Structures are given as C-alpha cells and as structure tokens.
Amino acid sequence: MGGLPYRISFFLQEFLRETHDISVDVVVGYVNDGESDIMASHAWLEYNGKKLTLG
C-alpha cells in the first residue's frame, strides 16, 4: 500500500478542483505517531488551514 496517501491526495486535489471548483493544497512531509522517534513520509491535503489525511 506504499505511496497510497500520495496518489489519493493528488487525485482528490484534481477531483475537487475540476468537479467542485475547490482549491486545496497537497502537502508532502513527515509525520510521527508519538510512539517512537521514527518520522515517516506522508502526504495530506490542506484547506483553509485545516488538514485532511487520507491513509
């Protein structure tokens, strides 16, 4: 399932723009689940200062 958050984020960005004229930003960065020091790469959407993570 590797890379799924990236693909879904970019797909949803285009879908929202084309279908509903909603502009969102795709952010690619690192996240930590708080259980260890490991940072994992991840992608999510941001809209009006709110984050939406998919996966």
Q: pLDDT tens, 35-53?
A: 889 888 899 999 999 998 8
User: What pLDDT, in 10s, does the model give residues 8-18?
Assistant: 999 999 999 99
Question: Which range marks the domain in which residue 10 is found?
Answer: 4-53
* pLDDT at 25 (0 to 100): 97
Q: Which helix (H) or strand (E) is 25 found in, with range?
A: strand 25-31
- CB-based burial label for 38 (10 Å; 0-12, 13-18, 19+): exposed
Q: Against a cut of 0.85, is the pTM above it?
A: no
* pLDDT at 4 (0 to 100): 82
- Number of structural domains (the chain) is 1
13 SS3 class: helix
